[in-house]
Amino acid sequence: MQRLVDMSTSELIQFAGQHSASIKEVGIYSELMKELTTRLCANTLAVTHALKARDEARLELSSAQLTISQITKVMGTSDTLSISEQVSALNQQVVNLAVENASLLPKAASELSNAWMLHKYWVGIQVALMHVNAGRLHDGMTWLQNTVSGPGIEAPELSDFAEIEAWANEQQKDSIGHVRALEIIKAASPATDAAIANIQAHGVEKFADDCDSDVMLVEPEDAEHYELMGEHARQFAAQLRKEAGNA
């Protein structure tokens, strides 16, 4: 007779079924039960491990699907090549922003310094006028001279009225107003402008998403208005990106 330990589980069960009525020896019966019990425990453990592995795989799959869904929502696609290209583009945007910031910071510091100089001139001129109006012409002239003096600040000594007016007009002909200054700064920092527009567009799109979510919560006669608001919001977001070169 084939040894019980050499039998497969199905062969053991078949053997037990065929000989259950004729097995008289306690040793064979005990050995058969022991082998079946061992196999059953091993199978149960294997099934438990398999179920655990299946559950872990399902969890990982669910997590992966969620991650893909999140990536798709942000990137607009789940294609790895497209995502890689978008990541490269984002990295380049970061580099461009860093370059622009490095250029803008000294300009910002210069403008802050200039603002303080303008305030100093305004105070000096006002004090000079106060002295002149009070009849203290010498004190007024002293304040004016001290206010406008300094390294790199030179002006011609003119006395003729026409010459003075002409010189003053020439010095002020290239003055830049606030609106023009903003235009120059934006032209010199397109990456920063694009990043700001992208942030604004993202906020508009969040509003559009809220409109979509609220459609199911409002009265039927109001649903169409929410749908239109969401549609117009997305169009406006696309326009913001297009104008800033993000489209």
Confirm whether 214 is domain-assigned: yes
Please report, for residues 76, 90, 103, 116, 145, the alpha-carbon distance to residue 106 in angstroms, rounded to integers and kept in the order given: 38, 25, 6, 15, 29
Residues 27 and 59 in one domain: yes
Confirm whether 158 is domain-assigned: yes
Domain stop point among 148, 175, 202: 175
3-state secondary structure the chain: CCCHHHCCHHHHHHHHHHHCCCCCCHHHHHHHHHHHHHHHHHHHHHHHHHHHHHHHHHHHHHHHHHHHHHHHHHHCCCCHHHHHHHHHHHHHHHHHHHHHHHHHHHHHHHHHHHHHHHHHHHHHHHHHHHHHHCCCHHHHHHHHHHHHCCCCCCCCCCCCHHHHHHHHHHHHCCCCCHHHHHHHHHHHCHHHHHHHHHHHHHHHHHHHHHHHHHCCCCCHHHHHHHHHHHHHHHHHHHHHHHHCCCC
A 10 A CB-CB count for 198 gives 16
How far is Cα 129 from Cα 139, in angstroms, rounded to an integer? Answer: 10
Residues 204 and 243 in one domain: yes
Residues 98 and 167 in one domain: yes
pLDDT of residue 76: 64
Confirm whether 235 is domain-assigned: yes
Query: Under a CB-based contact definition with an 8 Å cutoff, are residues 35 and 12 in contact?
Result: yes
Q: Which residues contact 101 (CB under 8 A, 6 or more apart)?
A: 192
Question: Consecutive sets of 10 residues in the chain, 247 residues long: mean pLDDT of each?
Answer: 62 61 53 64 72 81 74 65 71 75 75 79 90 92 83 74 86 75 77 81 88 82 86 90 72
For 171, the token pair is 């010095």
pLDDT of residue 63: 79
pTM as predicted: 0.41
Domain stop point among 73, 91, 117: 73
Confirm whether 51 is domain-assigned: yes
Confirm whether 31 is domain-assigned: yes
Residues 20 and 106 in one domain: no
Confirm whether 181 is domain-assigned: no
Domain that holds residue 58: 4-73
Domain stop point among 175, 195, 222: 175
Residues 98 and 161 in one domain: yes
Which amino acid is located at 160 in the chain? D
Rg (CA), the chain: 42
Residues 118 and 89 in one domain: yes
Question: Total structural domains in the chain?
Answer: 3
Residues 155 and 201 in one domain: no
Confirm whether 108 is domain-assigned: yes
Q: What phi and psi values does residue 20 have, to the nearest 5 degrees?
A: -60, -35
